[in-house]
Chain A
């Protein structure tokens, strides 16, 4: 039988505020346990939550970016359950009335076609703390630094049909929240993670199959592997005549498999009700207009503009628009030189490779946009060849110096003096009579070899176009 997969994702995206969603403690990652736990974080008797207004703006930005409805009135509710790292015994979240609903995002699929994926809702909530089991002498430690960190939970429609598509969707959301400046998207630190709802059904069947939920997937790779495993598992169960049990499962990356959580942990009745400590969030048109006016250019619009304005290849566009920082870097370089494709090639090529090797983000690049532009200008004005430029680039990266200084101190300036070049060409012709003969006999390709010999003799500093020209003249072709 042929099977069809239906996937919906719930992405938990940590919002990049300085302080918590309802309290004053810092949200910075990596502090000593419980040093970022104010009284509100700790749920002390008598303290009350006060909404951090920044998160409302951030949620609205996201809503506008996915063309969603920004609710004029949204309500925080309490989700009640007992857990040691949940200080109040309830999580404050939005339930019936989320701040953002009915949006969508467009994916470009592997075959180049586009697919629109619905986003049911995005709501604000607070994160829980962490239970620590390692090095705790058999006990459980509680770290509440993360408790009360603002999250935007982004819930897709069940419209994704493969693990690959799910990852594609997740990457697009990841890209978007970083563009919007509302999240650092750091997956290692748990700032961006997701739960996946997965079901399979015979191809063509309307009715959805029974779904399982995979919890807490925190890398693109795990999302793909976990979903693929789960699809295979469900198909196997069904093909063996069994039934899929609706349950919550965890992905074990070490074993590359999913396992059911104990029934008890999911048999919760959360007893949601509106939180009486918080007023409804009421947003008027003026607020939304204000947020809209401050919106940055979004990835798809930027990609379209890069194609139109710079005539770049799709692969380069994808890479250059992957993050706002990369796009900004590219545009800063491109603004200072004539050949925009040269800028694209260098940012997408040499620079990206160097950043990858060093494990650096473009914002932390050892060569800034203006420095790279300085280098590319030397290519454009024929001071150096592309090949020498790579050497200069490497030196700039290592030494932190500007291109001009390196070119000068190392004497890398291109030889364009015809007299000097002619002498060298004569020498190469004299040294390679066999190849000269072949060329004269019609083997055009050999010219490249001869040019190469001249380049070699000048340690790459000769202007290749010029060498070409002189060679042809001398060989009488």
Chain B
């Protein structure tokens, strides 16, 4: 039986060498979920039957010689990815019993590559939140300290990977929902360029910002997964036709002579000083590899959160209009006409944070406010994007902290939305600009992981993964698992 927390690359080697079967790996994953997830609550749905059947198919493929590097490796999907025949709840009462008739593109591609999904991970309801506390199915706990949040919205995926329940889980990142939980849970979390991975089959939150992402144990593993999920999909008009490079091939490229931009605004008063120290230490590692550091400026960074909290609720308010109790999802029993059917189904089906965003979004799009909010936000969004583009004229990549603090306590921010939103300050601008970004573990503060964020220009996935991989070659923060040394 393999020890806990092994990378995809390691498991793939075991499978390839015949030292383990997919059935064993998948069973081990299911066992760990059984043992640990009552406490963590990182899964909404576990599907042992389908998983074991898929594992057997993977083992058969390996016997027949048709296995690829991912074949037979267990994983999990954030419960926002539509999966045929298995509920896709978005951690909402609204979709508690919703079974999609089709697979999301990401689900389909990973299944085609032979990966075995063991279930669907918990998250903030409709991906709205930064703590995975807004889930209808209860908060996810951080495996490093179960009194703390693993971050969100892909908190279930982050916690499951951190705890070694699965070596990889998918996530979605609209304002930091992959990178922030990766930072708070001590795993590698990657958000590709907007348009690099198809959004088809991802329950829409904010369409111009949503992007599928990967939570894994290393940049190397991330590259393996990206190789499969990236690329054109005719079912998503915003999906790029640009060719997908060989991500693994560039992982080891030397960093000598490369330039890293350090935005001074990332290191302002809002940043926890110990986190700042960890990030600075990480930058030294790059320097030792021959990379140059250069100060850059993102003058409009302070506008990123307010801009995001106009654009994102606006789109969400419209995207979530389809949940009206007519065709799918929760339908109120307490309705005697169409008006009350709409009202009561939505009142009962959505949680507070979702309602807050729908109301905010409806407000900013309303006649008389549209220009002042939505239109203005779009203009600022352009400025923020221009700021980042300008940096890339001078530097190859931007580096900084992923979050201002390590994992916060459950309940600490849930009643203070503005405090919660400010946790996204370093991540949202990357979504507003549509850039690829990664968070990798780079230190520890009071036994809690700290995340380093690397952001590259559009479609520079290979470069971002290269920087992250080179860092992980020199350090072992990404190998540190929760609970180690604590018995």
Interface residues of chain A, those whose CB is within 8 Å of chain B, are 39, 42-51, 78, 80, 82, 84, 87-90, 140, 142, 269, 271-273, 275-279
Contact = CB atoms under 8 A, between A and B. Distances in A.
A50 B236 CA distance: 7
9 contacts: A44-B328, A46-B200, A49-B237, A80-B365, A84-B324, A84-B338, A90-B318, A142-B326, A273-B318
Contacts of B102: 39, 44, 46-47
Interface of B: 81-82, 88, 90, 95, 98, 100-102, 104, 199-204, 206-208, 234-238, 314-315, 317-318, 320-322, 324, 326-328, 338, 342, 362, 365-367, 370, 374
Contact of B202 (A39, A46, A84): A46
Contacts of B201: 46-47
Nearest to A34: B327
B318 A42 contact: no
Contacts of B237: 48-51, 277-279
Nearest to B325: A84
B326 A84 contact: yes
Contacts of A140: 338
Given A45-B82, A142-B326, A278-B237, 20 more contacts: A44-B327, A45-B100, A45-B203, A45-B204, A46-B88, A47-B201, A48-B200, A48-B235, A48-B236, A49-B237, A50-B235, A51-B237, A80-B317, A82-B321, A82-B342, A87-B322, A89-B318, A90-B321, A273-B315, A276-B207
Contacts of A90: 318, 321
B367 A45 contact: no
A277 B200 contact: no
Contacts of B322: 43, 45, 87-89
B104 A45 contact: no
Contacts of A142: 326
A82 B339 CA distance: 9
A48 B208 CA distance: 12
Contacts of B202: 46
A46 B321 contact: no
Contact of A88 (B82, B104, B321): B321
Which 7 residue pairs are nearest across A and B when measured between Cβ atoms? A89-B321, A276-B208, A271-B365, A276-B207, A46-B201, A46-B82, A45-B203
Nearest to B98: A45
A90 B362 CA distance: 13
A277 B207 contact: yes
A84 B366 CA distance: 22
Nearest to A270: B367
Contacts of B324: 82, 84, 89
A276 B235 contact: no
Contacts of B374: 273
Contacts of B204: 45-46, 48, 277
Given A44-B328, A49-B237, A279-B237, A271 B362 contact: yes
Q: Chain A interface mostly helix, strand, loop or mixed?
A: loop
A279 B241 CA distance: 13
Nearest to A80: B318
A48 B367 CA distance: 26
Contact of A47 (B90, B200, B208, B367): B200
A82 B322 CA distance: 9
A447 B236 CA distance: 82
A265 B370 CA distance: 22
Contacts of A51: 237
Nearest to A83: B338
Contacts of B338: 84, 140
A210 B342 CA distance: 34
A89 B315 CA distance: 12
Contacts of B370: 271-273
A87 B208 CA distance: 21
Nearest to A278: B237
B366 A271 contact: yes
Given A84-B326, A271-B366, A45 B95 contact: yes
B196 to A, nearest CB: 15
A137 to B, nearest CB: 15
A273 B314 contact: yes
A49 B318 CA distance: 14
A86 B208 CA distance: 22
Contacts of B206: 276
A140 B326 CA distance: 11
B175 to A, nearest CB: 15
The interface centre, meaning the residue of A142, A273, A275 with most chain B CB atoms within 10 A of its CB, is A273
A46 B200 CA distance: 6
A293 to B, nearest CB: 28
B328 A271 contact: no
Given A42-B327, A45-B328, A278-B237, A78 B318 contact: yes
A39 B318 contact: no
B318 A43 contact: no
Contacts of A269: 366-367
A246 to B, nearest CB: 16
Contacts of A276: 206-208, 238, 315
Given A45-B98, A273-B374, A276-B315, A87 B203 contact: no
A277 B238 contact: yes
A147 to B, nearest CB: 11
Contact of A46 (B100, B315, B342, B366): B100
A140 to B, nearest CB: 7
Most buried by B among A39, A50, A89: A89
A129 to B, nearest CB: 10
A43 B324 CA distance: 11
A43 to B, nearest CB: 5
Nearest to B329: A45
Contacts of A48: 199-200, 204, 235-238
A288 B454 CA distance: 44
A80 B358 CA distance: 13
Contacts of B101: 39, 44
A300 B479 CA distance: 78
A267 to B, nearest CB: 11
A317 to B, nearest CB: 46
A46 B203 contact: yes
Contacts of A271: 317-318, 362, 365-367, 370
A43 B318 CA distance: 12
Most chain A CB atoms below 10 A, which of B95, B100, B206, B327: B327
B371 to A, nearest CB: 12
Contact of A80 (B82, B321, B328, B342): B321
B358 to A, nearest CB: 11
Contacts of A273: 314-315, 318, 365, 370, 374
Given A90-B318, A276-B208, A43 B88 contact: no
A360 to B, nearest CB: 41
A82 to B, nearest CB: 5
Contacts of A47: 102, 200-201, 235
A346 B378 CA distance: 64
A269 B318 CA distance: 13
B327 A43 contact: yes
